Structure 1
Amino acid sequence: MTTAWLEATMIALTSVGAALVALLLTWLAVGRAPGRRLTPAAQEDLEEVAFLFDDEALVDATPPARRLLESMPIGASDWTRFTAFAAPRFPEFQSRIGQLADLGRLEMTEIASATDKPRLRLTVENFNGLARITLVDPEGEGQGQRVDSLSFRAMEDELEMMRTTLDRSPVLIWRTEKGGELSWANRAYLARAGAFDAGEEGFGWPLPSLFTLPLDAFDGGGPHRLEIGRASQGASDTATWFDCHSVVLERGTLHFALPADAAVRAEKALRDFVQTLTKTFADLPIGLAIFDRDRQLRLFNPALSDLLQLGPELLATRPTLYAFLDRLRETKMMPEPKDYRSWRQEMTELEQAAASGFHAETWNLPGGQTYRVTGRPHPDGAVAFLFEDISSETSLTRQFRGEIEMSQEVLDRVGDAIAVFRPSGELATANAAYGALWGVEPEATLGRVTLLDAVKQWQARAEPSAFWSWLQNLAREIGARENLTEEIILLDGRHVTCRLETLSGGAFLLRFSVDTASDTSPPRQTGTAVAQQG
């Protein structure tokens, strides 16, 4: 019994001791374990962004502050880089920083944006003659926020790509704030403005302004054709004119300037060309009217107003083609139409003919004038009409025609048969007696019958003679001919005296006189002379 009690006591004591030992070991393990500490990276994320400047020289900065400066564009100094970051976000920064020595402390808040994102706070303190600048982001303050390394690297790569793209762009790009202050510009703009230092390792602040933009440009208006000021121009062979396009952003305006010097030169050359044409057209005696593809008057010269008796005030209103022709009909400066419907049809045909190709017609006006109207197509569907007063030319032509008809009538009254040949040997004219004698129609053969052809016709209706051979040889000669007289006999027995007479310019005529008094052949002295000459 006693032995059993002792064994139970020993088992109980052993269990209690084991439990005590376990508790002791557990306390030692928990009590002596080192406390959790923040890693250096976590401490760095919680460290404030602070700078210490001596005038414009950076004396010291926290690691986040140095990373901020490294992310900014190149500048002439660390102060320039920081100003490039602060000035767009804190508009009063540059004006108030000079008051630090008097006030001792400055506080600024970032300008409001359209989003609900908390605004940055900037504090500047005078620390023993140095400027201690602190930036506070309310969104991340005291939260120890960490960024995934892969996401952060992707953001840095994208930022570098965008920055490189903008710096390599030949287009001038810059950004202005709502107050008009220039807050950012790409390399092309800075190079054009001469903002870089000698080694192109940095630039000063504030950035120079190249253009004087109109007010509507800050509201997205444009594009605007602007010229760089003379003081800002570079080399003489560089462009001085630009087409500026503006895009409104959340907190300012982004501007793009495209070179337009070539377009300006082309427009100037076009204006000079138009002025030259205008001066030329002004001196032309021919009236000119050019209608565009919508058939509206676009260009005319003073002669048009004088010839058609149209006031300049009417032409200045740019009437349509049909309104223009209607006015001509009302003022009787075009042929009187039978009726309005037929007149419109004729004008439509005139327009279509002028638009499809060269078209000309003559207008005999009620007042006695005669106009030649010419229509020509122009590029882009335009059509030009030329109005030329040919009254004197027509009168002279009619006079010449009357004189020619009268001369022909006089020639037909002559009893002898007469044929006139050009120096080339072609038949120029002949009278009615010539056609009756030789059985031909002179009007149908003018200009198409040569002397050789005529000799064959004569030989067919006359007896053989040495005179025909001599005329054939004459047709092959070039130069002056000698006067000659010869007598021939027709197949019907009539005797004909042939006379060759030279005219001015190498022309000559042949006169055939029929001897109706006697059928007896006279002596043939001339025939001997022809035989000797032949």
Structure 2
Amino acid sequence: MPGDIRTDAARGGSRDTTDSIGSAVRRDRKAIFGLRNPLKAGVSLAAVSLLAGVAPVAALDLTTMQAEMSVATSDVIQVAVFAGIMGAALLSAIWLIRERGRIAADNLELRGRLAEQNTALQRAESLLNLNDQRLVVWMKDRAKPDVVGSLGLAAGVPEERATFLAFGRWLMARSASQLERAIAELREKGRTFELVVETQRGSLLEAHGRNSASNAIVRFVSLSDAQTEHARLRAEHISLQSEYETIRGLIDALPMPFWLREIEGRLRWVNPAYAAAVETGETADVVRDGKELLPTSVRDAIAARHRDGKLFEQTVSTVIHGDRRLFSVVDYAGREGIAGIATDRTEIETVREELRKVQRSHSETLDQLTTAVAIFDAHEKLRFYNQAFQKLWDLDVAFLDSAPANALLLDRLRTDGRIPEQPEWRRWKEGVLSAYRAVQSQEDWWHLPDGRTIRVVANPHPAGGVTWVFENLTERMDLESRYNAAVRVQGETLDNLAEGVAVFGPDGRLRLSNPSFAKLWGLPEELARPDTHIKAIRAACELTAKDSPWAGFAADVTGFADERRDRRGQVEMNDGAVLRYALINLPNGQVMITFVDVTDTVNVERALKDKNEALQMADQLKNDFVQHVSYELRSPLTNIIGFTELLSLPDTGPLLQRQREYLDHIGSSSSVLLTIVNDILDLATVDAGIMELDIGEVDVDRIVKQSAELIAERLREHGIELDVDLSAAPQRFRADEHRVRQVLFNLLSNAVNYAPDGSRITLACRGKGGLIEFSVTDEGPGIPAEVLDTVYRRFESRANGGRRRGAGLGLSIVKSFVELHGGQVEISTGKGRGTTVTCRFPSEPDAMRPAAE
């Protein structure tokens, strides 16, 4: 059985060998499939093939050997391994030879392709250079771009890569900005572009931006003449399109109505402001409906202007939203259409009108000033001056209206000798004109050759120019000098016044007093000093007066009185003296009290009052006597006149001649006496204010004849002629006929009394300016100047060359009655040229006026 045992061992060894080979094959497979190198993979495959081929043989040999003889297991394994290795090496060698041939063929093919690619690259570069173009390529994984191609220096494009990529160095600013913005959008958003850019030399290039999966490419191409012209037109078109869109957007945003019309005048396009002005929501509706902003008359005027080939530019009015507005309309007509714009100038014109009014008001205000003002503009030209400026320098208005320069004006004043001569005239003038370059106001004093002192103030304007103010301080300085002198004189005057003066402040303390104040009230020296309170002065003064007013003075001075008002009065002192005081409130809150010793005046006043009362009583007695006697005399006189006339009648009996003469004298004397009594009664009635005029129609011709008849006997007695001139007299006027007759009778009687025998008296009447003038002229000696002032006094009777002295009531009666009618009396006289008395009556007296006494 040993053989069986070997067989099992052989089988066991066979299984182990088979497992070992399987493990090796698995390891080789893992190695083969895990290798990436083709050569290593080939060797592993050969080893696997060798092992696969040796394994059946080994199994067969083992079986045979087991059958035929017994061989050691280790020898078999070694033989098998060696045979497998040799087979694998052989297979690997064969595989390697085949792979090497295939790789050589691939390499040869790759070299051909590489040669072809190099040839294509060279051809592409040649084509790029041939077409004057340049590419800039940005790879996805690289930030730094590649630059390919050339554009030539003639186009102004730099060859250097860094300089070329700095587009702003060789392109125009606008083109560089557009290009950089387009490249950024190309790289970030993949947005392609086509631009025409302009170099700083004026050449045009086309820039095309394209984007692929891995690259961003910008191609710059030089253009031919035709292409350049096309590109230029295209650039201009783009620019114009951009400008058109910008202008269109601006016009749409403008608040001013804008419109485009066909050449025939029909609306083609309007902006929103136009639509809002015509109260339409959409601009298309305005164009469709043809709504017009301007009235028909304005459109006709525009059309007429365009037919003459001129631009219409005018301010017109139209109604917008119910309000009348002013628009500045500019309307232009081209070959293909018409464009217009309207600017609302309502507020501007309103503000301009207000500005004109303000400037006119300022000019009128400055013209009323006594201070000279001149305004120069930024070019040192005179633009405004007031009347005080022209009067100050006494310059021609024509010269000032010619807008002279400030330097020329100074030279003119120097030539005329109106400003002081300066040692260095040029430097002084430059100093004056430096005000135009100053920021703050400048002030100077000019002492003119004529003695005037002028304060000159230069106020520079923020926008240029200077306002010159010339203030004449001559009078002010003179007034200050006079004021100071007046203060000194006033002090001396107050100290020497007999009138006591005391001035108290609002605090009740004495501010000012003179020695007479202390003397009148007997105040000690320490109380009459300034700052003494009125309380102390009141206590001292109340002891010297019977009814002291100092309590009221203290209330007024300290402000405790109910009302601040001036008052006057007098106080009696204990020694019998009388002081008259006046309390005057001064504007600055102070109070001045003055005291005057009126003891003598009071005594005289008392005496005068007593005398006046006595005179009034005597006058009253006189008036009573005159009235009583006058009324008592009238009745006897009437009886005497009546009996005289009765004795003169033939029925009474014959009378001797001498008796008749006596009766005539008795009658005439009685009539004169009755006239005097009547005059006295009339004057008494006038003085009492109880006389009433009986106003009615007065026939001028009749009243003149009646007055002449009353004086006819005396005229014949002295051979005096009476001329009556009524050529310019009215037929009648309204007055008291009886009083007018009395006036004329007294005038004629007075003229007859002073007219020489055989002379002439003229009585004239005429209407003049609503008045009736009666004038009586005699050829007498005239009235002396010293007597003329007393001719209207009553009972002032003087002969003055007259035949007889009357009662002195004639002219008094005349003046009283004429003034009662609202008229006046005028006397024209002179020594040796007679006297004319003119009485003027109103033709329509409206009211009775008081007569002169």
TM range (shorter): 0.3 to 0.5
| TM-score calculated relative to the size of structure 2 | 0.27
| TM-score calculated relative to the size of structure 1 | 0.41
Higher RCO (C-alpha 8 Å, min separation 6): 1
Work out which of the two has the higher radius of gyration on C-alpha atoms and give 1 or 2.
2
